[in-house]
Amino acid sequence: MSDDTDTIQETEALPLDAWHRRKGARMVPFAGYHMPIQYEGIVIEHDWTREQAGLFDVSHMGQLMVTGENVAAELEKLLPGAIATLKPGKVRYSLLLNDEGGILDDLMVTNATPWIAGDEEAGTEGHWGDPAYYIVVNGATKWDDIAWLREHLPDEITLTHMDDHALIALQGPNAATALNRVMRNVIDDMVFMESVCHDFGEWPLRITRAGYTGEDGFEISLPNEHVETLCNRLCAEIEVRPVGLGARDSLRLEAGLPLYGHDLTAEIDPVSADLTFALTKTRRETGGYKGHDYVSAALRDGTKNRRVGLVLDGRLPAREGAKVFAGDEEVGRVTSGGFSPTLGHPIAMGYVAMAQAEPGTALEVEVRNKRLPAKVATLPFVPHRYHRGK
Amino acid sequence: MARYFTDEHEWIELDGDTATVGITDYAQGQLGDIVFVELPDAGKALEKGGDAAVVESVKAASDVYAPISGEVTEANPALEDDPSLVNSDPEGEGWFFRMTVADKGQLDGLMDEAKYKSFCDGL
């Protein structure tokens, strides 16, 4: 065996691989897996998600469970968000930062501490079990994240990669209606960024009201062997159709949500990325997390560039890498861009110099030696419709 | 009139001294929803295999190559208003441009319809 064969990464099949192919998906390699880029067509699937409910396979993402005594305090050394005050069942968007404040990944962390029911006969009362945090990280970065977390968390903290679990997302204004019909009363009291465990028959599900489309919706984690049956149950509802990665990208772009590896990298800090909402206020002062010095300097002194939205006239999209100009001066780059099916014109996200970052600023984007007029726009391009409750 | 196909999924139809060029139904299916087509201006000299046009789908930008050498005589004005014609009628109303034929011998290296069909079946 030559050394080369060890380094060639095989594209792997996810638990829903055969299901996607039966549904007519066009499969492409993504983050090391065969993934469905589309079934019927990106625009049809995009519109369906905005109007009904799209079912996405996101099993390529890394699902981690972190447990152990003091786990919240240990996670706070690596994440700039408040973890210790995050109540059981609550979810928070956070960032994995390096020592220089660069973003290694963006992630969702859920306080998954279980409630242990009391037993009247035994005379025990209900109580919270051992602290546990469920973390979902990006597929393309999960191996690096796991290595980073393992390196920087003490040995007493247990880190489990839940690679025996699939993850699907049901997204759209009718996601709740459809899910309620399949499993009654489970999501009644849930609002955006909450998570529950639910036994669906014998299957243990974790249902989280969150997503990556800007719509109301749910992410459901469950053991690999049951995911195909659950997808069939959900797709039997008239509101639900499978949606591929192509529409996932156009939906998240309209929702102004950054994509790691494109809009966020290890060279970009949270302030430049306009993700200060992920920097919990109390922790901005107290610090104690990797990269805090750089992050507080960026908060105090400001940054050179900022992530902004760009709206283009006409129909020609500006893609990742396109240069942004203010007059003759190059002031930034597009980090992701495309055509917005909802708005009917091109949109993009990118980094521009602070002086040009105000919404309404007129700029130009260069595409194939042509300068296209663009305007800085407030994100999101399409308003979020999360279910925040009363 | 004879129609020829390239392995880059362009079609070219000869009509006297000029030829009409477009992309095939297979190509539009692979590209998905087309939102913009950048066409060459009349008078532009094209070289066989060189860049001729760009198709922007929701997903990505893709180059379209000149099947033969020649000069552009006309770009399809209908695509400016309605690029989705390339999806709905790629081998008819969704044509890209017309061009002169510098060397008819270059057509000999292209595929006919039957050959192109079996080429696609093998993909």
Chain centroid offset of residue B53 CA = 8
- Rounded to two decimals, the ipTM of the complex is 0.86
CB contact under 8 A, A339 and B35: yes
In a domain, B12, yes or no: yes
Q: B35 in contact with A at a CB cutoff of 8 Å?
A: yes
β-strand A165-171 against A195-200: which pairing, if any?
unpaired
CATH of the domain at B42: 2.40.50.100
pLDDT digits (tens, 9 = 90+) for A125-155: 999 999 999 999 999 999 999 999 999 999 9
Does A7 have pLDDT greater than 70?
Answer: no
pLDDT digits (tens, 9 = 90+) for A303-352: 999 999 999 998 999 999 999 999 999 999 999 999 999 999 999 999 99
Q: B114 in contact with A at a CB cutoff of 8 Å?
A: no
Mutate which of A43, A45, A372 to disrupt the B interface (most B C-beta within 10 Å)? A43
Q: B29 in contact with A at a CB cutoff of 8 Å?
A: no
CB-nearest partner of A42 from B36, B59, B61 = B59
CB-nearest partner of A368 from B54, B58, B59 = B54
> What's the CA dihedral at B75, B78, B82, B86 to 10 degrees?
-60
A252 and A333 within one domain: no
Tell the burial category of A345 from Cβ atoms under 10 Å away from its Cβ (0-12, 13-18, 19+): middle
A249 and A148 within one domain: yes
CB-nearest partner of B56 from A42, A250, A316 = A316
Smallest CA–CA separation between A43 and chain B, in Å?
A: 7
CB contact under 8 A, A42 and B54: no
Query: In terms of Cα–Cα distance, which of A141, A200, A162, A144 is closest to A67?
Result: A162
CB contact under 8 A, B83 and A315: yes
- What are the structure tokens assigned to A362, written together? 């007129």
Cα separation of A100 and A80, whole Å?
13
Smallest CA–CA separation between B32 and chain A, in Å?
A: 6
Smallest CA–CA separation between A318 and chain B, in Å?
A: 10
A227 and A174 within one domain: yes
CATH of the domain at A362: 2.40.30.110
Cα separation of B46 and A122, whole Å?
86
Kindly identify which residue of chain B lies nearest to residue A342, measuring between CA atoms.
B58
CB-nearest partner of B32 from A42, A317, A346 = A42
Q: How confident is the model at residue B74 (pLDDT cuts 50, 70, 90)?
A: very high
Does A32 have pLDDT greater than 80?
Answer: yes
In a domain, B115, yes or no: no
pLDDT of residue A257: 98
Q: Are A196 and A207 in contact (CB under 8 A)?
A: yes
Does A115 have pLDDT greater than 50?
Answer: yes
Residues of B in contact with A315 (CB under 8 A): 35-36, 56, 83
Kindly identify which residue of chain A lies nearest to residue B38, measuring between CA atoms.
A316
Range of the structural domain that residue B25 is part of: 2-110
With a CB cutoff of 8 Å and minimum separation 6, the contacts of A66 are: A75, A132, A133, A135, A149, A153, A157, A158, A159, A160
Position A300: which residue type? Answer: R
Mutate which of A42, A49, A365 to disrupt the B interface (most B C-beta within 10 Å)? A42
Query: In terms of Cα–Cα distance, which of A140, A139, A100 is closest to A270?
Result: A100
Q: Are A351 and A304 in contact (CB under 8 A)?
A: no
Q: How many domains does chain B divide into? A: 1
Position A128: which residue type? Answer: W
The secondary element (H helix, E strand) that includes residue A152 is helix A142-152
pLDDT digits (tens, 9 = 90+) for A71-97: 999 999 999 999 999 999 999 999 999
Neighbours of A346 (CB within 10 A): 26
CB-nearest partner of A246 from B36, B54, B59 = B59
Q: B78 in contact with A at a CB cutoff of 8 Å?
A: no
Neighbours of A387 (CB within 10 A): 18
Pick from A4-8, A106-110, A361-365, B105-109: least confident: A4-8
Cα separation of A107 and A280, whole Å?
15
Angle subtended by helix axes A245-254 and A42-51, to nearest 10: 60
Does A285 have pLDDT greater than 60?
Answer: yes
Q: B14 in contact with A at a CB cutoff of 8 Å?
A: no
A133 and A106 within one domain: yes
Range of the structural domain that residue A74 is part of: 11-258+274-302
CB-nearest partner of A43 from B33, B54, B60 = B33
Q: How confident is the model at residue A51 (pLDDT cuts 50, 70, 90)?
A: very high
With a CB cutoff of 8 Å and minimum separation 6, the contacts of A314 are: A345, A346, A372, B36
Does B1 have pLDDT greater than 90?
Answer: no
Q: Are A131 and A85 in contact (CB under 8 A)?
A: no
In a domain, A268, yes or no: no
CB-nearest partner of A38 from B32, B35, B54 = B32
pLDDT of residue A273: 98
Q: How confident is the model at residue B2 (pLDDT cuts 50, 70, 90)?
A: confident
Q: How many domains does chain A divide into? A: 2
pLDDT of residue A122: 87
A220 and A355 within one domain: no
Kindly identify which residue of chain B lies nearest to residue A37, measuring between CA atoms.
B59
CB contact under 8 A, B32 and A41: yes
For chain A, percent of residues with pLDDT exceeding 90? 93
A181 and A127 within one domain: yes
Residues of A in contact with B41 (CB under 8 A): none
Positive or negative, the CA dihedral A49, A52, A57, A63 is: positive
Q: How confident is the model at residue A3 (pLDDT cuts 50, 70, 90)?
A: very low
In a domain, B121, yes or no: no
Q: Let me know how long chain A is.
A: 390
β-strand B61-65 against B70-75: which pairing, if any?
unpaired
Q: Are B77 and B50 in contact (CB under 8 A)?
A: no
CB-nearest partner of B35 from A315, A319, A368 = A315
pLDDT digits (tens, 9 = 90+) for A227-238: 999 999 999 999
- A106-123 mean pLDDT: 94
Is the peptide bond prior to A380 cis by the omega test (within 30 degrees of 0)?
Answer: yes
Q: How confident is the model at residue A46 (pLDDT cuts 50, 70, 90)?
A: very high
Does A47 have pLDDT greater than 70?
Answer: yes
**What average pLDDT does chain A have?**
95
In a domain, B95, yes or no: yes
In a domain, B117, yes or no: no
In a domain, B123, yes or no: no
* Percent helix, percent strand, percent coil in chain B, to nearest 5: 25, 35, 40
In a domain, B83, yes or no: yes
Q: What one-character DSSP code corresponds to residue A122?
A: T
Q: List residues in chain A touching B: CB distance below 8 A.
A: 37-38, 41-43, 46, 246, 250, 314-317, 319, 338-339, 341, 346, 368
**Cα dist from A202 to A54, A57, A63, A223, whole Å:** 25, 22, 21, 11
